[in-house]
Amino acid sequence: MSSVEATIEGAKRLAAFTAIDSHFPKDAKVVGIGSGSTVIYCVERIVEKKLAGEISSDVIYIPTGFQSKELIINGGLNLGAVDGYPVIDVAFDGADEVDPALNCIKGGGACLFQEKLVAECAKKFVVVADFRKNSTALGTQWLQGVPIEVVPTAHAKVRQDLLAMGAITATLRLGGKAKAGAVITDNCNVIIDAHFGKISDPVALAQKIKLLVGVVEVGLFINMATASYFGNADGSVTAKFSNGEVSQIQ
Ligand SMILES: O=C[C@H](O)[C@H](O)[C@H](O)COP(=O)(O)O
């Protein structure tokens, strides 16, 4: 691992540990676990605290896809499902880009639909990320585009719609060497990444995309996060809250 990669991994771990220490409720019954490389550290911290007797072994964990299901099982935690537990005390998840209002772009790992479902069911949604995701405006740092989950037969029509709507690019996500053809989501759909440049009105854009026939869900998470923790390269953590407060944790 290069020193840059080590710094990024350290920042993710720090953000995740701080978020769990600050937001895992003492009396939690049901907790959502998001997807991606940063939530791995959330699960690491939860397992550590459970073994230390600081987190009850009765807590049920709700995954947001195949990867987080494996994380829960391999961590020896109790696995639940969102259709059995539609009320979740808190959900922890990563993000690809977060703006000052805590609106997020998510879905870089193609898990956005179940992530949004779990976040919507959660009383509190806490984002964990490294410093690269801390942004002043969506679409300025995550240049791959807004991930959009689409029913496979509609992909060509939705790409056309997105370009007509002003997308600079609208690309069907491919599996590359690991998978010939399109990436297939945990819900058997495909992903279109649509880059709009700087997104000045994320609320309006999310609504417009969601209305397109064939769109299952949009990777714009608007007004959902309660708090967002960013691990920094210098070992500090920046915490941002939905009420506008920002704090630096050394
Ligand atoms: O579909 C994937 C998710 O939205 C991830 O939470 C997001 O891509 C962030 O992942 P990572 O923590 O690996 O940067």
Q: What is the pLDDT of residue 97?
A: 98
Q: What is the pLDDT of residue 3?
A: 94
Query: Distance from the CA of 248 to the center of ligand 1, in angstroms?
Result: 23
Q: What is the pLDDT of residue 210?
A: 98
Per residue in 116-140, pLDDT tens? 999 999 999 999 999 999 999 999 9
| Tally of CB atoms within 10 A around 81 | 11
Residue type for 65, please? G
Q: What is the pLDDT of residue 101?
A: 97
Give the predicted TM-score (pTM) of the model.
0.97
Task: ipTM value, please give it.
Answer: 0.99
Helix or strand or coil: residue 70? Answer: helix
Ligand 1 atom with minimal separation from the 94 CA: 6
Is 116 exposed, middle or buried (CB count within 10 Å of its CB: 0-12, 13-18, 19+)? buried
Per residue in 207-241, pLDDT tens? 999 999 999 999 999 999 999 999 999 999 999 99
Q: What is the pLDDT of residue 53?
A: 97
Q: Which residues line ligand 1 (CB under 6 A)?
A: 34-38, 93-96, 106-112, 115
Q: What is the pLDDT of residue 25?
A: 97
Query: Distance from the CA of 35 to the center of ligand 1, in angstroms?
Result: 6
Nearest to 126, CA basis, from 5, 239, 26: 239
| Phi, psi for 178 (deg, rounded to 5) | -75, -20
Q: What is the pLDDT of residue 36?
A: 98
How much is the average pLDDT of 176-202?
Answer: 97
Give the H/E segment covering residue 10. helix 3-23
From 38, 113, 191, mutation site for ligand 1 pocket: most ligand atoms within 8 A of C-beta: 38
| Percent of the residues in the chain that have a pLDDT greater than 90, as a whole number | 99
The residue written with tokens 């500090």 in the block is 236
Concatenated DSSP letters of 145-200? -EEEEE-GGGHHHHHHHHHHTT-SEEEE-B-GGGSSSB---TTS-EEEEEE-SS-S
Q: In order of start, what are the domains of the chain with their CATH numbers?
A: 3-136+222-249 (3.40.50.1360), 146-219 (3.30.70.260)
Per residue in 5-28, pLDDT tens? 999 999 999 999 999 999 999 999
Q: What is the pLDDT of residue 226?
A: 98
How far apart CA 204 and CA 237 sit, in angstroms, is 31
Angle at the Cα of 202 (from 197 to 111), degrees rounded to 5? 85
The residue written with tokens 């029913």 in the block is 151
Mean of all residue pLDDT scores within the chain? 97
From 35, 42, 229, mutation site for ligand 1 pocket: most ligand atoms within 8 A of C-beta: 35
